[in-house]
Structure formats: C-alpha cells, structure tokens
Amino acid sequence: MFKLLSIKVSSKIDKKFDAKFINKETKQERTISFGAKKYRDHTLTNDKKSKFYIPDKEEREKVKINYQKRHAKDLLTEASKTGLSAGALSYYVLWTGTTLTKGISNYRKKFNL
C-alpha cells in the first residue's frame, strides 16, 4: 500500500512533474515522473497565461475527451490500476481537472491515496 507524499515540478528536463510515494509497509520511497513538457494538457488549455490556452470551452472539452479516448488503454496495466504509473498520473492529474489542484484531488479520490 502506497501513500502519495507530494507532486512537484520534475527534476527531469523533459517531464512536467514528479510524484513521490512511500510504501507504508517497507518505508521505501518511489518517484514517478510524468507529463511531457512539450505537450499540452487540460490544466494548460484552461490557463489563460499558458501558450496552450484554448479560449473556447467546447474546444477545450473536445481536446480533453480526445486525449482520454486515446489513452484509455494506458489505464489497463496493473500499475495503472493502482495509480502507480506515469499514464495514470497524467490521465487523472493533468486531464481530469481544469487546474493542477483539482487534478491532484481527482487522482487522490480515484486511488484513495
């Protein structure tokens, strides 16, 4: 059983965020990097300050739905079913909420982390 400790800006040059977990039993920490920096996500398409901002709400929703359709298969792995994969983190944190805070909240609720 893992616990989410934090989600911070990634130390990797090509990733957006690092999610840090701890195994409650062994106390070992694990970090998963997720979100490619060069691509948009739902939090960015909703941010007026972002170069990826899309003014039209319906268009933003289309982009989100298309991403979720394309990546639904990524959620079928065993790691994704527990939330401990880059695919699950990207899907729920970056593509379910209009802000990072909302996405993290959705992720925590989905996986009880």
Cα distances from 51 to residues 8, 44, 100, in angstroms, run 21, 8, 16
Of 50, 51, 3, 53, nearest to 26 by C-alpha is: 3
- pLDDT class of 1 with cuts at 50, 70, 90: confident
SS3 96: coil
- What are the pLDDT digits (tens) for 9-30? 999 999 999 999 999 999 999 9
CB 103 within 8 A of CB 96: yes
- What are the pLDDT digits (tens) for 59-74? 999 999 999 999 999 8
pLDDT reported for residue 113: 85
Average pLDDT of the residues in 82-104: 96
Q: What does pLDDT average to over the chain?
A: 96
CA dist 56 and 43 (Å) reads: 14
